[in-house]
Amino acid sequence: MSDDYEIVIGLEVHVQLLTESKLFCGCSTRFGAEPNTQTCPTCTGMPGTLPVMTRRAFELGLRTALAIDCQISPFTKWDRKQYYYPDLPKGYQISQFDLPFSHDGGLDIRDPKGRFAPKRIGIIRAHLEEDAGKSMHDEQAGEADSRIDLNRTGTPLLEIVSQPDMRSPAEARAYLDELKLLLVYLGVSDCNMQEGSLRVDANINLHLTGENGEKIATPIVEIKNMNSFRAVERALEYEAIRQYQVWQETGQRLGDVPKQTRGWDDAANLTRGQRHKEESSDYRYFPDPDLVPVRVSPEQIEIVRRALGELPAALRARLIGAYGITEYDADVIVNQGRDVVSYYVELAEACSDGKMASNWVQQDVLRTLKEQTITIDAYPVRPAQLAELLGKIRGGEIDTTRAREVLAQMLTSGKGVAETMSALGIVRVDESELIELCQQLLASNPKVVAEVKAGKVQAAGALIGQAKKLNPNANPARVREICMELIAKS
Amino acid sequence: MSLSREQVEKVSLLARLQLSESELIAMTAQLDAIVGYVEQLAEVDTEQVEPMAHAIELSNVFREDRARPSVDRGEILANAPHADGQFYLVPAVLGD
Amino acid sequence: MSLTDLSASQILAELNARRFTAVEVTQAYVERIERHDPAIGALLRYDAETALATARGIDDRRQAGQPVGLLAGLPVSVKDLLCSQGDLATCGSRMLEHFRAPYDSTVVARLKRADAVLLGRTNLDEFAMGGSTENSALQKTRNPWDVTRAPGGSSGGSAACVAARLTPLSIGTDTGGSIRQPAGLCGITGMKPTYGRVSRYGLVAFASSLDQAGPMATSAADAALLLEAIAGHDPCDSTSIDAPVPSYSQTVTQPLAGLTLGLAREHFGPGLDSEVERAVREAIAVYESLGAKVKEISLPHSKYSVATYYIIAPSEASSNLARYDGVHYGHRTDERAMLAELAAERQKLEAARDTAGLNRLDSPLVRLYRRSRAEGFGAEVKRRIMLGAYALSSGYYDAYYLKALKVRRLIRQDFDSAFQSVDLIAGPVTAAPAFKLGENVNDPLAMYLLDLYTVGANLAGIPGISIPCGLSAAGLPIGLQLQAPPLEEDRLLRAAHMFQQATDWHMRRPNLP
């Protein structure tokens, strides 16, 4: 970006865990219900109610923490984070303060486009907490009441806090993409940002070198309200420039001013300062007496670790190593999720050409999935069938263009390769038949023959066009070869 | 250590209590006396002692992840001082 | 002898023998409430009609030979701190004066399952904070033995109710002595079970790591019956102990052989009223006459228990009571008046060009919270919320809260090592008999110091029972406290019953006005 400063970014990601019920009560976590219809005395904080933790939320948290290489605490407890807000009915959020269940992990990121070298982003901690409800404000009316919906209150969240290890918005984006991919692979979250299943807050400041060569850090700013990864990137880009301007104007360093929170305004493409009261940061954390600690044994950790399955980084490496595809291709396939990877692997194994399989998956299969907005399990052509088709190409029985026609037909008819080929009148043309065809062509095109002989090789293209008309099944490449040979001999 | 009026005022905001002038004066004196009394704990040697947040040593208490029907909205909102049948209502909370 | 002179166990025997009906029993107690409660004020509400309907149902089932619950037909009153579906749960507070619980607490659900006749709801110190029931925002309760005196608290309504035989059984809660102390001051039997023995689900929290509901009755045998009905594991309470519940009502009559009582020398120090000391020592002599051995022990950290308690309990309370903010339920200030107040303050600050003051001025939402809470809570509740918020606030946590948690462990360890050599610890419940109404209201610290003998059991999580063991010269009851290791309620009840077989202090009754 600029030689003048280094951007330092840390991210806090909140992920909604895929549980059926809320973290501390049996209310459903389903998105989109009528306001205040997914609540009960417990999640609305009625007097006398008590929380009992959903085992699955803890298990999903554990899965995730292990996948991002975190240390698992043998002993963890639950704390109350106290603040007043109408969407927080108990007046405190149950979270984890000084003994999170996991800490000190990391996530490797790299950029297939090569904008930055591969690196590891440290993870400070991942902890479980409950979500708050939703406050809706009528911006127009100003003085009108705010409306509170507690459906989301008590939904299990995993908060993943990174080290300030990212040095550009592109790295931040790569971290988020990789993290999201991992979470989806783990099956712990649907990561739907529109529904609030994944939320990102960013901490950013600049590191500069002073006139005397001393290291200078500018004040850290927390950015909120970013509702897409693209918005995170843009907000960070904007904020770096803004902070550099502020630095030039004020010379403020880290510690000179209290930490500021700014909200991203996507439409206006800028961040705005948010009001901050000094006392509001005194959360008076203390252990929640209503919940008991959790102890996790090394054996339990091993069981969860073994059940993680092959994760994106390992999958990419395997695809590159076993099937000889590029990092870029491996990235595209792995990004599609576990089912597409399985499809690819089956196809590559069956047709013994990883590169060809990769091309067909990317250019044909994925395009169809996108056009028809279906998932791979709804894709009508199974890997074995597609491999059979690719085998025909490799065997010279059919050219790529014809093969695409066959595939298109198979998608709608649901029939096999051979059946579809014969339905389309595609039959293997004998070599003798081809030679006969070529001889016929040369005889009726003396002008072309003369041109080719004179060295204008491209003139042969006209012959191939005619050959296709005479016999659609003729392999154009072979036609060209035979014609050239015959012309040379003549 | 003695408790100042300013500290008590600050805590009253933290605790979201509005105290009148006379309550503030009385509260400062009373809290000061109580805090003075509890400060005797400083004399106990707790160097090697683990904190005890629970009266019993239980751990790993969970429930299974099963959703059950929620409570009727009317019943939940029945106790709300101000609601519109769908939402709880509060004065505009912009910026708080 | 009238029906209400009988103990709950005796009434139950009569009911089971069909010598009288639940309706007759309920009617008899309703009449007593009507006659005596106006002068005592033990009950906040009672519902004769519903109670009689319940009683009728139980009679029908008993008549038809169908199975009935453990308490079938016995009137029970419940401290107004435990939720009962569709009923008010005021907690003695303006804040929840109109709050109707949409669910049953586990204790109430178990009482219903045991076919108890839920007759009324008893008064208490607001949110169970206090030791005299004078902190109730709703009503004054008087000690049946002397109506110029406090019944103790916070379960003062339940204690007075049972002492006056307005119901034979009552449910109280005990966070720092709130069952045992009023039981002692009103001359009845009251037990705080082991923390986790009785579910806290639906018990409106004061200090979650200390709160425990328990039985209040006229005798150990009756307390055993009531405890048996409400004790046991509850999946809705993460801190509930998953251990089988003995049949307390069956075992209570079995005497304990070879009992060793521990006398903590810290319990007989300065400040103990001489009449109380004499009564307690006489009670211990009774045990000796029954074959018990007595051993002096020490609880060296007990002198710190009040200080420890008054950090931990208010800290938890400040958090537990944060939910009363006038948004989701409970009292909410008049919004128009609140906005007018803010506007006036703003005007004044603007006129004085006080920028700092303007910056500090509450937003409407913050003022809504602060006014609602200021109006909804009484002085003692505010004091404890303030104390707790202070103890947990940034910069003080380690010195107060964390320190208190560590001393708490030392207090528990004192009990653990004492129970290595004794079966029970015996001593006074309170330093003196019932005090005059209004005597301590202006000195909160003096009031807190009265909890000296009782808070230890809450901090340690162990069970304790208070039984009547004498009367002062002024005719006021004196209580004996017995404490046992965790989950040894059975031992406590049997020891208490042994004493009550040998003495008749639990049979003494106040002359009601």
Q: DSSP labels for C241-286?
A: ---PPP-HHHHTTSPPSS-EEEEEGGGGSTT--HHHHHHHHHHHHH
Which among B65, B70, B93 is the nearest to A146, CB-wise?
B93
Query: Beta strands of chain B (E only): which ranges?
Result: 62-63, 88-90
- Which site among C98, C320, C336, C396 would you substitute to test the A interface, given the most A Cβ atoms closer than 10 Å to its Cβ? C320
- Catalytic-residue membership of C154: yes
Which among C203, C316, C397 is the nearest to A48, CB-wise?
C203
CB A310 within 8 A of CB A334: no
pLDDT at B2: 81
All residues of chain A having their beta carbon less than 8 Å from the beta carbon of residue B95 are 274-275
CB A62 within 8 A of CB A101: yes
Report d(CA B66, CA A25) in Å as an integer. Answer: 9
Q: How many pairs of residues across B and C have Cβ atoms under 8 Å apart?
A: 178
Q: Where are the alpha helices (DSSP H) in C104-177?
A: 106-113, 156-163
How many other β-carbons are positioned within 10 Å of the β-carbon of residue C372?
A: 26
All residues of chain A having their beta carbon less than 8 Å from the beta carbon of residue B85 are none
Residue contact B30–C304, C-beta within 8 A: no
DSSP C143: B
pLDDT at C1: 66
DSSP C88: B
pLDDT at A469: 82
Q: Hey, is A2 helix, strand or coil?
A: coil
Which among A84, A148, A292 is the nearest to C369, CB-wise?
A84
pLDDT at A276: 61
Residue A14: name the closest of A221, A264, A193 by CA: A193
CB A113 within 8 A of CB A158: no
Single-letter amino acid code for the residue at A58:
F
All residues of chain A having their beta carbon less than 8 Å from the beta carbon of residue B65 are 19-21, 54-57
CB A1 within 8 A of CB A14: no
All residues of chain C having their beta carbon less than 8 Å from the beta carbon of residue B39 are 307
Report d(CA B29, CA C259) in Å as an integer. Answer: 48
Q: What angle do CA C51, C55, C61 make, to 5 degrees?
A: 150
Q: Is C336 on the interface with B (CB under 8 A)?
A: no
CB C341 within 8 A of CB C421: no
Report d(CA C450, CA C465) in Å as an integer. Answer: 17
Tell me what ipTM this predicted complex has.
Answer: 0.97
CB A39 within 8 A of CB A27: yes
| Summary count for chain B: helices (H), strands (E) | 3, 2
CB C183 within 8 A of CB C466: yes
Residue contact B94–A137, C-beta within 8 A: yes
- Catalytic-residue membership of C274: no
All residues of chain A having their beta carbon less than 8 Å from the beta carbon of residue C397 are 284-286
Q: Hey, is A192 helix, strand or coil?
A: coil
Give the residue-averaged pLDDT of C329-352.
Answer: 96
Residue contact B52–C408, C-beta within 8 A: yes
Residues with Cβ within 8 Å of C404's Cβ and at least 6 positions away in sequence, in order, are B38, B41, C307, C308, C311, C312, C315, C391
Q: Where are the alpha helices (DSSP H) in C18-128?
A: 22-40, 48-63, 106-113
User: Is residue A279 over pLDDT 60?
Assistant: no
CA A453 to chain CA centroid, nearest Å: 56
CB A19 within 8 A of CB A60: yes
All residues of chain B having their beta carbon less than 8 Å from the beta carbon of residue A40 are 70-71, 76
Determine what percent of chain B falls in helix, strand and coil, rounding each to the nearest 5.
40, 5, 55
State pLDDT tens for residues B3-52.
999 999 999 999 999 999 999 999 999 999 999 999 999 999 999 999 99
Report d(CA A51, CA A394) in Å as an integer. Answer: 63
pLDDT at A2: 44
For residue B78, give how far its alpha carbon lies from the nearest alpha carbon of chain A (Å).
12
pLDDT at A141: 56
User: Is residue C114 over pLDDT 70?
Assistant: yes
Residue A429 tokens read as: 């043309």
Neighbours of chain A (3+ CB pairs under 8 A): B, C
For residue A302, give how far its alpha carbon lies from the nearest alpha carbon of chain B (Å).
18
CB C144 within 8 A of CB C151: yes
Residue A189 tokens read as: 């979250």
Report residue A1's pLDDT band, with 50, 70 and 90 as the boundaries.
Answer: very low
Which among C102, C404, C445 is the nearest to B76, CB-wise?
C102
User: Is residue C193 over pLDDT 90?
Assistant: yes
Residues with Cβ within 8 Å of B79's Cβ and at least 6 positions away in sequence, in order, are A46, C99, C100, C102, C328, C329, C330
Which among C330, C364, C444 is the nearest to B91, CB-wise?
C364
Name the helix (H) or strand (E) containing C370. helix C364-376
All residues of chain B having their beta carbon less than 8 Å from the beta carbon of residue A144 are 92
Q: Where are the alpha helices (DSSP H) in A68-202?
A: 169-186
Give the residue-averaged pLDDT of C85-97.
Answer: 98
Q: DSSP labels for C170-221?
A: EEEE-SSSTTHHHHHHHT-EEEEPPTTTB--TTBPPSSTTT--EEEEESSHH
How many other β-carbons are positioned within 10 Å of the β-carbon of residue A446?
A: 9
Report d(CA A27, CA A35) in Å as an integer. Answer: 13
Query: Beta strands of A87-176 (E only): which ranges?
Result: 92-95, 102-109, 119-130, 134-136, 146-149, 156-162
DSSP A428: P
User: Is residue A483 over pLDDT 60?
Assistant: yes
- Which site among A27, A145, A151, A299 would you substitute to test the B interface, given the most B Cβ atoms closer than 10 Å to its Cβ? A145
Q: How many pairs of residues across A and B have Cβ atoms under 8 Å apart?
A: 122
Report d(CA A300, CA A310) in Å as an integer. Answer: 19
- Catalytic-residue membership of C178: yes
CB C311 within 8 A of CB C430: no
State pLDDT tens for residues B43-92.
999 999 999 999 999 999 999 999 999 999 999 999 999 999 999 999 88
Residue B82: name the closest of A144, C364, C329 by CA: C329
DSSP A34: P
Mean pLDDT, chain C, rounded, equals 97
- Which site among C126, C210, C323 would you substitute to test the A interface, given the most A Cβ atoms closer than 10 Å to its Cβ? C323
State pLDDT tens for residues C20-62.
999 999 999 999 999 999 999 999 999 999 999 999 999 999 9
Residue contact B87–A149, C-beta within 8 A: yes
What are φ and ψ of residue C279, in 5° steps? Answer: -60, -40
User: Is residue A303 over pLDDT 90?
Assistant: yes
Report residue A477's pLDDT band, with 50, 70 and 90 as the boundaries.
Answer: confident
Neighbours of chain C (3+ CB pairs under 8 A): A, B
Q: Is A300 on the interface with B (CB under 8 A)?
A: no
For residue C299, give how far its alpha carbon lies from the nearest alpha carbon of chain A (Å).
25
For residue C22, give how far its alpha carbon lies from the nearest alpha carbon of chain B (Å).
33
How many other β-carbons are positioned within 10 Å of the β-carbon of residue A255?
A: 10
All residues of chain A having their beta carbon less than 8 Å from the beta carbon of residue B70 are 27-28, 37-40
Residue appearing with tokens 């807190």:
C448
